[in-house]
Structure 1
Amino acid sequence: MDAQDNGNASQDVVFEVYTNNNNNNNNNTSTFPTTVQGDHFILEDSTKLIGVQVVLIFAYSTIILFGVTGNSLVIYVVYKFKNLHTVTNFFIVNLAVADLLVNTLCLPFTLMYTLFGEWKFGWALCFVLPYAQGLAVHVSTITLNVIAMDRYRSIVYHMETKMSRDMCTIVIVLTWVASAVLASPLAIFREYTSFDLPPGQSIQVCTEKWPGSGVDATVYSVAAFLLQYGLPLSIISYTYARIWNKLRRHVSPGGGGRNDRHRRRKKTTKMLVAVVVVFALSWLPFHSFQLAVDFNSSIFSMRDFSLLYTVFHITAMCSTFANPILYGWMNRNYRSAFAAVCKCIWTADGAGTNSVRRPEKNAKDINCLHTHVTNV
């Protein structure tokens, strides 16, 4: 899913380290893996240990691999199978696109920034990449709320009229527009600069630079936490609690069709609740750490500040590949669609060199997905 940014880094979840510059009283943030005391950088933190770096490379690489594979598969099966063309699934695709954006555009650079200890990607990416992740997390959060409210409307108030595809498209477009506006401070209040290190060395860093005092950054961080985490989770928790209570007490008077629909609704709601729970728990350590940093600046001077931040960030980023696993585990339609795609890939690979001599097998492979549509 979801880089929500609290603390002085606000939404700059991926690109974050804190500098306390006594000359300008600004709180700057980037992903530079150091701690700071006054005007002096401390480079020898735990993330510089070879063993730690190997673990970080493995962790980030695993998240990227699973995230790209799983979210791409979700997007593909919804596109390919017509019986998955529902409003809820279109919103799930929107979540997958946002997570895919984080996996491809943000995490590789975060890993390299942490390992190198310096921003090596130039001026333009300093503005683009933090903005991209902030945008993606806003999209994920808003979409989770939209899904919850749509199901609340249809289940709790028995509104059988489903959201039209045109309205679904409008909602998705508005989600991206609103997210782009909310994430804009990450690109506006940013600076690509260099810091001098003794003796006679300098490093390039990508930092936040807020006007006036550092209070501006703290206010924005707390507001972002409430808007991106606290308030949305409150709304989602309330709506799903009402939905679950409604489904638990539901008794269908006769009619096997109504009972089947009730069971499908219950299974889908379980899956969506699991998605929200994973999102909330994966981000909780990171948000807690960020808020602690906001109100206790002495945390900056901890030797393992960068390592703690990175561990909590990795935990948060696990949400970007968890959703496809939940879909495959808890939803029969997705499970069947995933199996159909994997079987077709296996069949196509198995054709090997025989594909030239057996054109009839190629034709069968081309229609493979079509054959499985009715079984999803």
Structure 2
Amino acid sequence: MENALPVAEELQRRWLHNASLNESYANQFVQPPWQVALWAVAYGLVVAVSVVGNVVVMWIILAHKRMRTVTNYFLVNLAFAEASMAAFNTVVNFTYAVHNEWYYGLLYCKFHNFFPIAAVFASIYSMTAIALDRYMAIIHPLQPRLSATATKVVIGIIWLLAFLLAFPQGYYSVMEELPGRLVCLVAWPEHDANAYGKTYHFCMTVLIYFLPLLVIGCAYTVVGITLWASEIPGDSSDRYHEQVSAKRKVVKMMIIVVCTFALCWLPYHIYFTLQYFNPEWYLQKFIQQVYLAIMWLAMSSTMYNPIIYCCLNDRFRVGFKHAFRWCPFVSAGEYEGLEMKSARYLQTQSSTYKVSRVETTVSLAVGAADEEPEEGSKARRLSVDVTSNGSSRSDSKTVSESLSFYSNTLS
């Protein structure tokens, strides 16, 4: 995340021998106490909801074996990145923007400019991985799925790339002393027209916003066409429609998550891109309020996902009710009933064919044991019939499972 304070931008431009945009280092961005209090409440709300909500999401997934799916491992990574950014950077951004003075030392200055880029990268590419996983599960269901180990390796690669891409901004972060105060900024190597800073900014904008959103958009477009516009000839059973409905709910939830992220971060990217075309805007006094609003919107993206999961997913709703069972309006009985219903329903939907076949086999085996020896040939005949029908049943099962990732979804 870039250092957006107007005075810091001005100092950086001067230090890089670019055109001077202001004749004074005086801090003109001083707000009345009531404005500071309102912004403090708004930013504090983001931190509280984001940290608590995302920690509960991680607990729901990691503490319940049934929830440890490929998609949910990426949701854990997404929740960790968002909770970390909210905890380590939101309050610091707020205090720095309000006071225009850096209180936290050089080490945290570097971390402050380094970690948010890594966290945003990990967030958006976790969403990308989920979109590609849903694409493979629905469009190419017969292809091998990621294992738990492979999923963890992918998550590790995401964070490695995130740290590598964020390293330059952390490395070039410095503290500079102005009359009566210190500021934290990114001081790129000297070059005409600040080429290094511009190049890095535009590359990061593409890599952590436009490129992943393009990939996600393409993946969910194909998935949406498949789920909403395609019909399977000869299969109109209730179970099939329940499976399709469940798949649609999961895809809808993830599309809402991605759209929320895109809308929250779009003003942020526009704000930092315009500074290269109209730098004089960033020396106006009103720009501080604009920056605080845009930064709040971007930081608030970290708190919406837990709310979305709770509203749109039965299992996450169960988990949140259990986590907040100490609240007077959440009853333990309701939680237990919903948990049992959800677990049974998902298990039944994912193994209906297996249960049916096992019951048939057991029934035939018991019947054969109870019959007289002279009827053994009849029992064997029945067994052969069941075996011969196994291929057709297996084909039916393959088609059904190839059209459904129900047992692997969140719903």
Shorter-chain TM band: 0.7 to 0.9
User: Does 2:51 align with 1:68?
Assistant: yes
Counterparts in 2 of 1:85 and 1:131: CA distance versus 1, 3 Å: same
- 1:195-254 CA-partner distances (Å, limit 9, x unpaired): 2x3xxxx31111101012212101111111111111111111111111111101232414
Q: Distance in 2 between matches of 1:140 and 1:238?
A: 18
Residue 261 of structure 1 deviates from its aligned partner by 2.4
Which position in structure 2 is the counterpart of 1:122? 105
Secondary structure in 1 matching 2:285? coil
Secondary structure in 2 matching 1:206? strand
User: Does 2:242 align with 1:260?
Assistant: yes
Instruction: State the percentage of identical aligned residues.
Output: 23
Aligned mate of 2:226, from 238, 242, 246 = 246
Which position in structure 2 is the counterpart of 1:191? 174
- 1:48-83 CA-partner distances (Å, limit 9, x unpaired): 222221111011001001111110110111122222
User: Does 2:190 align with 1:212?
Assistant: yes
Which position in structure 2 is the counterpart of 1:144? 127
User: Does 2:278 align with 1:296?
Assistant: yes
Q: Distance in 1 between matches of 2:14 and 2:236?
A: 75
Which position in structure 1 is the counterpart of 2:28? 44
- 1:296-317 CA-partner distances (Å, limit 9, x unpaired): 1111221112221111010111
User: Does 2:291 align with 1:309?
Assistant: yes
Which position in structure 2 is the counterpart of 1:167? 150
Q: Distance in 1 between matches of 2:153 and 2:27?
A: 48
Q: How does 1:80-99 map to 2 (within 5 A)?
A: 80-99=63-82
User: Does 2:9 align with 1:18?
Assistant: yes
Which position in structure 2 is the counterpart of 1:374? 340
Does structure 1 conserve the Cα–Cα contact (< 8 Å) formed by 2:318 and 2:335?
Answer: no
Residue 96 of structure 1 deviates from its aligned partner by 0.4
Does structure 1 conserve the Cα–Cα contact (< 8 Å) formed by 2:31 and 2:98?
Answer: yes
Does structure 2 conserve the Cα–Cα contact (< 8 Å) formed by 1:26 and 1:210?
Answer: no
Residue 13 of structure 1 deviates from its aligned partner by 6.8
Structure with the larger strand share: 1
Counterparts in 2 of 1:14 and 1:270: CA distance versus 1, 3 Å: farther
Residue 270 of structure 1 deviates from its aligned partner by 0.2
Q: Distance in 2 between matches of 1:131 and 1:106?
A: 10
Secondary structure in 2 matching 1:194? strand
Secondary structure in 1 matching 2:183? strand
Which position in structure 2 is the counterpart of 1:320? 302
- Structure 1, unaligned stretches of length 5 or more? 28-35, 351-364
- Structure 2, unaligned stretches of length 5 or more? 343-411
Q: Distance in 2 between matches of 1:208 and 1:335?
A: 43
Does structure 2 conserve the Cα–Cα contact (< 8 Å) formed by 1:71 and 1:97?
Answer: yes
Q: Distance in 2 between matches of 1:15 and 1:105?
A: 22
Q: Distance in 2 between matches of 1:54 and 1:301?
A: 24
Which position in structure 2 is the counterpart of 1:31? none
**Greater Rg, structure 1 or structure 2?**
2
User: Does 2:89 align with 1:106?
Assistant: yes
Which position in structure 2 is the counterpart of 1:334? 316
Q: In angstroms, what is the RMSD of aligned CA positions?
A: 2.6
Q: Distance in 2 between matches of 1:313 and 1:321?
A: 14
Task: Report the number of matched residues.
Answer: 336
Letter in 1 for 2:118: L
Which position in structure 2 is the counterpart of 1:57? 40
Does structure 2 conserve the Cα–Cα contact (< 8 Å) formed by 1:21 and 1:39?
Answer: no
Counterparts in 2 of 1:179 and 1:369: CA distance versus 1, 3 Å: farther
